[in-house]
Structure 1
Amino acid sequence: MARSSRTLRRVLLAALALAVVLGFGLRQVWGAADPQQAAGAMTVANRTSASFEQPAAGLTPAERARHQAADVLFDRTHVPLDGAPGAGLGPRFNAASCVACHVRNGRGRPLMGESLVRVALRDGQPVPELGRQVRDRAVLGARPDAAVTVGWQERDGLRRPLVQLQADPSLDLSERSVARSLRVAPPLIGLGLLEAVPEAAILEHADPGDRDGDGISGRPHWLDEPGGTQRLGRFGWKAISPSLQEQTAAALLNDMGLTSPGDIGRRELDLITFYSQTLGAPRTALPATGPVVRRGRELFDSLQCARCHVPQLATGRLAAAVAGVINGQTFWPYTDLLLHDMGAGLDDGVAEKGAPGREWRTAPLWGLGLAQRVNGSVGFLHDGRARSIEEAILWHGGEAAAARERFTALAPEQRRWLLNWLQQL
């Protein structure tokens, strides 16, 4: 009996030692923090249809009160001032409120008015009389830029949008002359954390010349500023905004036509920005110690998905942080915030601020499995074409083509493990 107990003890100790070694190996790749706490101390436990609308955990009572006041402005429907075109909303616009596109703060649905169309001439220049965005609605007494119709073309189980534009016959909006890109609203969770990642930490993952020869060459999107300076873009499908306030201001101007202090003042702009900065992100459905998470993470690494969808990032310590809890957080967004060439299949022909049609910022994956619950439907990628996570993977080309091929070569059971892990994010 004693010999049997000693043998059992030795087996248990050996198993514990192996677990420690394996755990250390995972920490080298994934870090030591708990990935179930996706937003660090800002993580919210809610995984219902309202999970993307929750203020971050860890806010002070004053910060939470400010967040709630900002929520009212985010939901506010704008109208023309005194009913006059050009004052307040419009005269041309895509939506009358922030929440009209960001329903429940989730990703937009392409056929439900939660999308817009970016355009460019085939040489990359703005479209005369339209600019770079089609505003398909107008206030009374004005005319929209164009009427937008979206259809779908499907081949081999994958679909792509077909965007038709109808406008004044004097405008040449034919596909031969004008490239068009359907864009759905991205989810808003955890944006304050992404804003607080130091530039140096983002640049650590950049390899624009592919010096290591792995075929992945993510590059930072440097944006020219007045005076010859540059800032790092990190928000939007092509990382065209360096800060959440500039991203918010651009949406108010381009999507709603709010152009003057009479339309929206600095206090309101600051509050709406604060709202998106202090949204939490939901915890994952499963703990890191379970088999779904362990096997899914191993497959994610083996396919080299983590080279672009970097699992773990950390914020710095900003003296002017909008909320104290944002400082010094380790979190799990699965993005490098860099631009990558995603191949011809995702090339929409519309360049933005130096980012060509083939290049897209790595989309964060946190909250991925809640898309259906939050939105009532699923539409992944920049235009909502992918009806499932698997379809989104199969659209990956360019730098991600090798990862896609490794995914298609997986055994059915392995593919299920990976997709189940992504679904619980």
Structure 2
Amino acid sequence: MSRPSFRCSTLFQALLLPLTLGADALFAAQADYPIQTTPMTGGAGSVKQHDHNAFSLPQGNLPITKRLDFSVGNSFFRNPWVVAPSSTDARDGLGPLFNTNSCQGCHIKDGRGHAPPSVDEPSVSLFLRLAVPADPQRDAEILKRHGFVPAPVYGSQLQTSAIPGMQPEASMVVEWQPLEQTLADGSKVSLRQPIYHIESPNYGPLPNNLLISPRVAPPMIGLGLLESIAEADILRHADPDDSNGDGISGRANRVWDKATESTVLGRFGWKAAEPNILQQAMGAFAGDMGLTSALSPQTDCTPEQQCDAFPNGGEHEVSDKVANFIAFYSASLAVPTRRDMDSAEVQRGAELFNQLNCAGCHTPTYTTAKVERDDLSEQVIWPYSDLLLHDMGPGLADGRDEFLADGNEWRTPPLWGMGLAQQVNPSAGFLHDGRARTLEEAVLWHGGEAQAAADQYRLLPAPERAALQRFLNSL
């Protein structure tokens, strides 16, 4: 049995740094960030739903005439796809290689996925992206259009399932290594470091220079609102040279738009490698389920794997009509309203969030542009993200570039709905690979540009840390 192991990061330099900040340095660099005063986090379309279905409702201001389109898109998102040929010809063509048979299989109840808790449990909604190091000159065209160089034979993504008669690419196993953090007041927090094993590869040996990037499914809420933010408003927060000296140098990813065949701003995905919802969705169909579409006519199956020997579900297994329903559904999932905003502890947590400069990356608010859909137009929203790339340090690095994003960089994930993540999926984890079981663990993994904020968090007394956590859980 082959068992290559891959650390998700280098050793824990960022986490094991001694606390060198004195109390007089706490909050040394504060910025004037707004504090949310309305519960309508997703603008007029926000919904007051805070249970296990909190992420599955349409925009509250979605016209009744569009509710049917939402429901149809929901059915294609939720129901499983099947092997071709099938009498269910609108949903056939699964595989031959895949990770899951439905969108809902990863985005559990439209929320975030989770990492397997032990080596004995299969991964449901966490997978590995694959690549090999690129030669900038030789690989210029593939880097321009793809953002990285896929692994020989195994492609861009490790697919751990297959239809009957086909072998999956391999098995993925996650081993957890404990790591204890001691905060300034002596409190101890137990973190877990993932180590990834690829076992039993079925299509020959894995490349010696294989690069991996673990990705857990992110929540689906508010995507249409994020797509409606004007590009200029996003770029306004970019500071690639850290000209203001605050230690934060967010920068935009520039990615390939398949429809326009041009390089544009990236805003979706863990490394902001997708320009819009439709391309993100069709890429997931191709990579996660082995389903072709007009936008992504090739799956991740390589010629060496001979997937063409099996029946398919048509030239475009996801028709343009179905693709548009899926995109509409994905753009229409409402953001839940804020909770507990009148709590003094929550209010104190909001102040600390700004004082620690968390808002330097997690930009609190935008107003969306005037767009074709009235329910998404000119909405004041509170996503808590700048949608830009930031160096998060060696503790979270994957070492795998994607377009302009380097191996240390990740897009700032929106925080709206964060406090309901484990209400929707009790096993949900945080960060790009779900390693953090709590929001405090997620904070303590922050390094790089967020190192100063994480160090200041470590210096806080327990009541202040609790207030910050209470604020995050109110989102």
Indicate the TM-score class for this superposition, using the shorter chain for normalisation: 0.7 to 0.9
SS in structure 2 opposite 1:408?
helix
**How far did residue 126 of structure 1 move?**
2.3
CA–CA separation in structure 2 for the residues paired with 1:57 and 1:215: 39
User: Within 5 Å, which residues of 2 pair with 1:1-20?
Assistant: none
- Name the structure 2 match of 1:403: 453
**1:173 deviation in Å?**
2.7
Q: Measure, in 2, the Cα distance between the counterparts of 1:116 and 1:195.
A: 25
- Partner of residue 216 from structure 2, selected from 184, 187, 199: 184
AA aligned to 1:57 is G
Q: How far apart are 1:121 and its partner, in Å? A: 2.5
| Deviation, structure 1 residue 246 | 0.5
Q: Is the 8 A contact 1:163 1:180 kept in 2?
A: no
Tell me what 1:256 maps to. Answer: 289
Query: Are 1:92 and 2:92 counterparts?
Result: no
Q: Which residue is equivalent to 1:131?
A: 155
Supply the distance in 1 between the matched residues of 2:125 and 2:77 (Cα, whole angstroms): 15
In the alignment, the residues of structure 2 paired with residue 170 and residue 109 of structure 1 have an alpha-carbon distance, to the nearest angstrom, of 27
> C-alpha displacement at 1:169, in angstroms?
7.2
String of CA shifts for 1:6-49, please: whole Å, max 9, x gaps: xxxxxxxxxxxxxxxxxxxxxx7327x74411101010001001
User: CA separation in 2, counterparts of 1:160 and 1:105?
Assistant: 26
What is the 5 A alignment of 1:204-219?
Answer: 204-219=236-251
Tell me the SS of whatever aligns to 2:395: helix
Residues 270 and 416 (structure 1 numbering): CA distance in 2 closer, same or farther, change over 3 Å? same
- SS state of the match for residue 194, structure 2? strand
Give the CA deviation at 1:291: 1.1
Where relative contact order (Cα < 8 A, 6+ residues apart) is larger, the structure is: 2
CA contact under 8 A between 1:379 and 1:387: conserved in structure 2? yes
Task: Give, in angstroms, the shift of residue 179 of structure 1.
Answer: 2.5
- Counterpart of 1:407 in structure 2: which amino acid? Y
Is it true that 1:48 corresponds to 2:51 in the alignment?
yes
User: What TM-score do you get using the length of structure 2 for normalisation?
Assistant: 0.79
Residue identity matched to 2:46: T
Q: How far does residue 304 in structure 1 lie from its aligned partner after superposition?
A: 0.3
Pick from 13, 31, 36 the counterpart of residue 39 of structure 2.
36
Q: Pick from 379, 394, 399 the counterpart of residue 429 of structure 2.
A: 379
Q: Cα offset for 1:118?
A: 0.8
Partner of 1:365: 415
Counterpart of 2:154, as a letter, is L
Gaps of 5+ in 2: 1-31, 87-91, 117-122, 135-147, 181-189, 294-314
1:168 shift after superposition: 4.1
Q: Which residue of 1 aligns with 2:276?
A: 243
Q: Secondary structure at the match of 1:276?
A: helix
Question: Normalising to structure 1: TM-score of the pair?
Answer: 0.88
Unaligned runs of 5+ in 1: 1-27
Q: List 4+ stretches of structure 1 deviating above 3 A.
A: 122-125, 167-172, 224-229
- Tell me, yes or no, if the aligned pair for 1:379 and 1:388 is still in contact at 8 Å: yes
Q: 1:168 to 1:415 in 2, by over 3 A?
A: closer
- Tell me if 1:315 matches 2:318: no
Identical pairs, percent: 42
- Asked if 1:305 corresponds to 2:309, the answer is no
The 2-side partners of 1:184 and 1:393 are apart by 18
Structure 2 residue aligned with 1:284:
338
Kept in 2, the 8 Å contact 1:50–1:104? The answer is yes
Alignment partner, residue 415 of structure 1: 465
Q: Which residue of 2 aligns with 1:233?
A: 266
Distance in structure 2 (CA, Å) of the matches to 1:257 and 1:377 = 26
- SS of 2:428's equivalent in the other structure is coil
Letter aligned with residue 340 of structure 2: L
Deviations 1:99-132 (A, max 9, x none): 1111101110112511111122255742110112
The change in CA–CA distance for 1:228 and 1:372 in structure 2 (over 3 A counts) is closer
**Bigger shift: residues 219-228 or 407-416:** 219-228
In structure 2, the residue matched to 1:223 is 255
Measured on the aligned residues, the alpha-carbon RMSD in Å equals 2.1
The CA distance in 2 between the partners of 1:36 and 1:313, in whole Å, is: 15
Please identify the structure whose Cα radius of gyration is greater: 1
Higher helix content, 1 or 2: 1
- The amino acid that maps onto 2:317 is D
SS at the partner of 2:85?
Answer: helix
CA distance in 2, matches of 1:100, 1:42: 26
